[in-house]
Amino acid sequence: MKRVSPPEAETARIDFAQPLDAAAPRLRCAFGVPRQVLVAQQVGEVRAVLDAVHAAAQQGHWCVGYVRYEAAPAFDTALQTYTADGPLAWFAVHDAPQPWPAEEPQETARVVWNSGLERSAFDAALGRIQQAIGAGELYQVNYTGPLTGALQGSAAALFAALQRAQPGGYAAHIGAGGEQVLSVSPELFFDWQDAPGGGDILARPMKGTAARGATPEEDAAQATQLRTAPKERAENVMIVDLLRNDLSRIAQPNSVQVPRLFHTEPLPTVWQMTSDVRARTRAGVRLADVFGALFPCGSVTGAPKVRAMQMIRRLEPGPRGVYCGAVGVVRPGGPAAAGGLYPVAATFNVPIRTVVLRTGETDSGTAVRVTCGIGSGITVDSNCQGEWNEWRHKRAFVERASESFDLLETLALIEGKFDHADLHLARMGEAAAHFGLPWNLHAVRQELQIAALQCHVGAWRVRLLLSVDGSARAETFAMHPTPTPVHLQLAGEPLREAAGEFCRYKTTRRAHYDAFAPSQPGVFDTVLYNEAGEITECTRGNVAMRLEGRWVTPPLACGLLPGVGRALALRSGRLEEAVVCLEDVPRVQAWAFVNSLRGWLDAKLVIPVV
């Protein structure tokens, strides 16, 4: 173990729930330059660092840091991992926390991501895991892969964006030597409150995932399906049983309990299922003993843990690092006892939804490299497409944070009056709630009133924008009639983001739409479809098709924006919802482009199905 003199720049922030005491406020605080830094570079040093952290908390200090996934052999030599690419354990020791900064960073951050794991490699790995399960070697493996990219902007701004994308939970920003850890994990590893006669400990493994629904009804159905699906319940129970066994190593006899099972939690982009496992720890248990019993968390290994980690070592391309290890805070947990020592309280997350930054040299100069791990639990009932979709749903949090955006509504202003303003504002308010942005309806209406006063004659296109800070602005542009029929072309490939939130909500992040901009002169817009071959929408509005004598438009479940013009046409009975697939296109009798700005535009499809 090394005690390192910290450089002046070392800082940290934590924003943690305290689940053992539901009435307690969140641990939301910052830390300046630490008094010392405790580092374990070798497996044999990890326990010594944890013992030193425990002792520092007993003396009244606060310790913030992490334990890498590759530290596992420090607690059991049978747990196989790659060689670590950084310190196995790193903790900064502080005299006391400081208030959370009153102002958020004003700068912005953008991450340019490279492509992650290829689908063919993903399918092959799942096949090998299921062969091993079928042979009786194990029950479950948590298989993961890395995303890599480059940061443009500041780490502080990226952390703020990550917290907006994944609020609540157990968030930490730790500057640790040559790397920065930005964790916004929703998963609790353990919350432990020690006491002289024995402590209380809670583990809350997160196992089971479902995408959020496109409508409130579909969202509720997704939660119910997650909670009742045999595959998801079996996956959750396996890990609960593993955690019960792990906790029994440090628990008082007959104290391990499961007070809550199969609880579904709504996160911004996914539903997650958690269960609670609680116990009374024996007197004299120390932090290193807790890690020795539990680390790594079974939710990120599989079961049995030893065999699952052997397969992870064989299939994954390199070390996981801080991802799937533990990030947390160890602190005094109450008044000092008669001997002057404080009881120890420790809260650690399982660092999923975690980004790690490293600065290095490239051919073009200094760059900040970004890594983020994504994974899922593989069981005998898993299928490749379902798990691949789960990975995409889980990475949505980092995609949301990777680039700044505004919420957007486009309204028609005709002779000083807006068309359907209330419907547009209701939709923007729903988007603000979804993305966690401040929403002041009165202030937003004032921006529209100013635009109406300035452009009270003629026809205008008004772009109403809502920023991350809740401020609104309106941009006005002269609008001219659109000759009909307009010409539409069919996309040459599916829109893979059709199930994502940037299709369900209207924002300025439109790269996925812009990639399908019309390529032929005279083409007004492109008709899109999802990976299942279902027609969804156009890039700037919804689409209507006449089939068998009735006008239909795709349902929201296909992956599309709930346009105001579409909603009005459905309400009036002019449109009905129906799934239309690519093979149905030759039978379409007529086409129309629909949005609230242009209204109903008769259309012709000029590019046939290839």
The structure tokens listed for 472 are 């609104």
Out of 10, 70, 179, 207, the active site residue is 207
What values do phi and psi take at 140, rounded to 5? -160, 145
What values do phi and psi take at 8, rounded to 5? -65, -20
Could you count the other beta carbons within 10 Å of the beta carbon of residue 226?
A: 22
Out of 70, 179, 187, 316, the active site residue is 187
Measured between alpha carbons, how far is 346 from 63 in angstroms, rounded to an integer? 9
Q: Are strands 179-185 and 170-176 parallel, antiparallel or unpaired?
A: antiparallel
Q: Are strands 109-113 and 140-153 parallel, antiparallel or unpaired?
A: antiparallel
Measured between alpha carbons, how far is 9 from 32 in angstroms, rounded to an integer? 8
Measured between alpha carbons, how far is 395 from 373 in angstroms, rounded to an integer? 9
Active site residue 316: no
Active site residue 207: yes
Could you count the other beta carbons within 10 Å of the beta carbon of residue 469?
A: 9
Q: Which helix (H) or strand (E) holds 313?
A: helix 305-315
Assign 3-class secondary structure to 26-76. Answer: CEEEEECCCCEEEEECCHHHHHHHHHHHHHHHHCCCEEEEEECHHHHHHCC
Number of helices (H), then strands (E), in the chain = 14, 33
What values do phi and psi take at 37, rounded to 5? -125, 130
Per-residue DSSP letter, 557 = G
The structure tokens listed for 145 are 């892969």
Measured between alpha carbons, how far is 430 from 97 in angstroms, rounded to an integer? 37
Residue 464 three-state SS: strand
What values do phi and psi take at 573, rounded to 5? 90, 0
- List, by residue number, the catalytic residues: 187, 207
